[in-house]
Amino acid sequence: MRFFPATGTMGTLKDGSISEYGDTSMAKLIGMSGDFKGREYPIEQGEIAIGRKADNAILLDHPTISSHHCRILRAGDSCVLQDLDSTNGTRVNSRDVKESALRHKDLIQLGSIEFLFDAPELASSGARYTDANAEMATGAMSAPQDFASISPFGAPPKERRGIWYFALIATGIFALLALAWFFLKLLNAA
């Protein structure tokens, strides 16, 4: 339960998220993409299960999220993210992971949904993490089909080299034909 000062009420939203007026000092996931953009999910002590099924502490109803996608284990000043063999994978700062310690401002991607791990109390506590227990996921790495970048700068422009290669080859062939025609004219004249 949370107290929301703006409305003077206690509670959480149906999907487990807290409103924008909720507690700003505790660790939370902040949605950065899709329907989850701007939603905040508190990370309290213990185990926080995340997935598409209703029995998860954080319910994310999205086709790229597995029924039991991952969990966050929080004990004191440390938070560890564990992938639960999800179909579309779990990434921390663009790296596929099976397990990873979380730091303030880490970017977490579950399926095609991105979240910011906001934990100012962990950053200010001086807690140190090691990636000794981080495992790199194996297999092909690719973005899900419906993945869309949230970058405000958009995608970098694609280079159009194909047309230039074609133009260069056509010019070369034309030059060779012109040179051959010139030599044939020169030989016929002699």
> What does DSSP say about strands 46-51 and 58-59: parallel, antiparallel, or unpaired?
parallel
Please check whether residues 95 and 180 belong to one and the same domain: no
Ranges assigned E (strand) in 53-144: 58-59, 70-75, 78-83, 90-92, 95-96, 99-101, 106-110, 113-118
How many Cβ atoms sit within 10 Å of the Cβ of residue 115? Answer: 24
Report residue 77's pLDDT band, with 50, 70 and 90 as the boundaries. confident
47-39-9 Cα angle (round to 5): 85
Total number of domains constituting the chain: 2
Which CATH number do you get for residue 11? 2.60.200.20
The string of pLDDT tens digits covering residues 120-162 is 877 665 444 444 444 555 555 666 666 666 666 666 666 667 7
Looking up tokens 């949904």 gives 113
